[in-house]
Chains A and B, each alone.
Chain A
């Protein structure tokens, strides 16, 4: 066992193991750092959404990419950082086409939950109204590109049974999009598809043949704020749900 070291987050002293992930250490000690692309226990973090940005030694750093070091002094909650996070979430809302009331993932969507959490009402930026497609070629997955936030979870954290990546990027910059290998998606089993849909933080990857399996009000973030819920490896659901789509 590594020797514990002391760090402070917003002035609060915390004893932690060196090299542990800051987001998780903070959480274990009751400090909430908002995250979006971050996924616990999944090895290397993605660092794409930057919502977990904190301040360390006058620099801004994404907390998910930070590891515990002796004597670290971090700022998580300040007016500046709160506004920064809110701005980032707003950027996501204007970049894609997000219509929460009609979305299957509403209530289970991390982006939506963060919007509430950060008290976002109206984005400060112009909506881009990007022209994106809905891809229905796959037998198992409906890919709603309008909602994709390009977080890289599916491209980098999802592998099929043979360890192959199933999602890739195409283009770059503002033309970036995710492309799926339809043949491989079609070979996924039920469990893998469930896992994939759970992995997607928004409603971009949806399971075909399944629409709304739980009513609004019973969903993940409906009654518990996103800061108090835990995202873990989803276990395959044992309940059988009747398809609505």
Chain B
């Protein structure tokens, strides 16, 4: 063991910013991170054990006790839930002879839940030893477990169902085509072109990409970084999975263009742990690009244009999708969002100016540079130019990937995806909006209904409250705990949701949810806390009748201590005393 720890420390140069890689290496060898390895690491890296645990305990893919040689993570997202999550779990429990969250008697298998693994188009799904398997049934599970017992792992089979090939990302593209423009355009012209296109960040926040690049280029510090955010954690999205499996060069080209624009020589892709199975594939593409002189030193023989890309694997955390939390994680720490300002363009990765963009943003930028800003602006609306990749899941005839122009109405959307008998659409995942068909004329755009790509459709046969409860639970589990309102507030909201579902809530509880939600979202520190109340609030607005119907109790269980009532005797004594004196 000692030799092993020494060798991995050597591989990563005893670099503390590579802690995640080090833990991954240990876990791959021992299938968990034993205490003894921490002792050795502590000695080697000159970090105390609590400091190592600071990082280790933040990520749910790292285990500190034996958790099975083969770990099965069942996707517990709302989409999985409506497609029979409970049945799937009991099948696994029966086949493996262990309970959820435990290890089987042989110590061979571990069974755990995990939030959305980016397979909502093929729900219910699970990650088996890192390999995604969709459309699970009892029979399929039987076969999988039988195979596993014979040491046969399932094959990686990602079925990307592209339902609508749009005009931008699906336009014919040869590898490296956009990079030809590197000869014709100066760095400033690249930024100008991106700025002119009006493209806004595709991750959800919608900040102008051109402006971001401009700010970064204006920094005094010359050492700069490009980071690609491939941590698509929003339940219901899988569009980055599509881009990374089918068209990763388009994403890398965007990163190279960004590097040229701001003069960066190092790029990083933060790949979510759920997509670990893509790492080898992506690395081989990077190696290929290096051979083609599209990456590495003197790219395309342009003097002094060096750019390298490294893949950093995450370890399971939704909040790391927030750009500053992602930076913390890239530096080997807990994925807690940083205070802003300074913004990443001023002080990002290793405190140097950094551009962080979503996978889809980089892919779109390649197309913008190739075809020009003018071409790009032909699509979409004036305030939301271009197209958007949607990950469609839930109750519709054609779940999968769609590239649509911004400005699409919900009515058009539902027709497109073949949704009938629809109750609600969750636009933008749990952190987005839950809308009813009364709002079907609303449009997907940054000014009306923004979306990072997740589109979940729920039909009338679903229990909406169960779905919302799933979202609230998700936020409670994924809160980093750093700021109070999000850490403690989500528990309170979850409790209220539980009360409603178990018919223990009264009318007054609905008002409480509204009031408390306002406080939590107003005072939280990052996007997670600010949007964690969205599912409850938006669904209450869209479906007041569903909530009302479930409010059955005459009196709320939530009865705070009635101070006036309980101090009557005291008040009487005080009054008596005052009278006498």
Contacts and interface: CB of A to CB of B under 8 A. Distances in A.
Interface of A: 44-45, 47-50, 53, 60, 62, 65, 67, 83-84, 87-88, 91-92, 94-95, 121-126, 128, 149-150, 152, 164-165, 167-176, 179-181, 183-184
22 contacts: A44-B339, A49-B483, A50-B485, A53-B523, A60-B522, A62-B523, A84-B522, A88-B523, A91-B488, A95-B488, A125-B492, A125-B560, A126-B558, A150-B481, A169-B334, A169-B481, A170-B53, A171-B481, A172-B480, A173-B478, A174-B481, A174-B491
A183 B50 CA distance: 11
B525 A62 contact: yes
B531 to A, nearest CB: 14
Given A91-B484, A174-B488, A179-B50, A60 B57 contact: no
Contact of B53 (A47, A92, A164, A168): A168
Interface string B477-518: 111111111011111100100000000000000001000100
Contact of A50 (B48, B58, B480, B524): B524
A84 B519 contact: yes
B299 to A, nearest CB: 38
Contacts of A124: 512, 560
Interface in B27-80: 48-51, 53-54, 57-58
A128 B53 contact: no
B563 interface: yes
A173 B473 CA distance: 12
Given A49-B483, A172-B479, 6 more contacts: A48-B525, A60-B523, A91-B485, A95-B484, A126-B492, A173-B481
Could you say which of B51, B53, B489 has the most chain A C-beta atoms within 10 Å of its C-beta? B51
B324 to A, nearest CB: 12
B484 A48 contact: yes
A60 B530 CA distance: 10
Given A44-B339, A165-B51, A179-B50, A49 B484 contact: yes
Interface in B434-488: 476-485, 487-488
A62 B512 CA distance: 24
B561 interface: yes
B495 A170 contact: no
Contacts of A84: 519, 522-523
A173 B485 contact: no
Contacts of A165: 51
B54 A169 contact: yes
A172 B484 contact: no
Contacts of B489: 91
A174 B476 CA distance: 8
Contacts of A164: 48
A184 B49 CA distance: 12
A87 B560 contact: no
A62 B483 CA distance: 11
Interface in B215-244: none
Contacts of B487: 95, 150, 173-174, 176
B525 A47 contact: yes
B558 A172 contact: no
Interface string B84-117: 0000000000000000000000000000000000
A12 to B, nearest CB: 23
Contacts of B524: 50
Contacts of A95: 484, 487-488
A88 B480 contact: no
B54 A174 contact: no
A28 B477 CA distance: 41
A216 B478 CA distance: 42
Interface in B509-566: 512, 516, 519, 522-525, 558, 560-561, 563
Contacts of A170: 50, 53-54, 57
A171 B57 CA distance: 5
A122 B560 contact: yes
Given A121-B563, A169-B54, A48 B482 contact: yes
Nearest to A60: B522
A162 to B, nearest CB: 11
A99 to B, nearest CB: 15
A203 to B, nearest CB: 18
A173 B476 contact: yes
A172 B481 contact: yes
B113 to A, nearest CB: 15
Closest CB pairs A-B (n = 8): A176-B481, A60-B522, A168-B54, A168-B50, A122-B561, A50-B523, A179-B50, A91-B488
Contacts of B339: 44-45, 47, 65
A243 B478 CA distance: 44
Nearest to A49: B484
A45 B485 CA distance: 17
Contacts of B519: 83-84, 87-88
A92 B488 contact: yes
Contacts of B523: 50, 53, 60, 62, 84, 88
A70 B508 CA distance: 44
A53 B516 CA distance: 15
A149 to B, nearest CB: 8
A48 B54 contact: no
B239 to A, nearest CB: 27
Contacts of B561: 122
A135 B482 CA distance: 22
Nearest to A174: B491
B334 A126 contact: no
B311 to A, nearest CB: 24
A128 B560 CA distance: 13
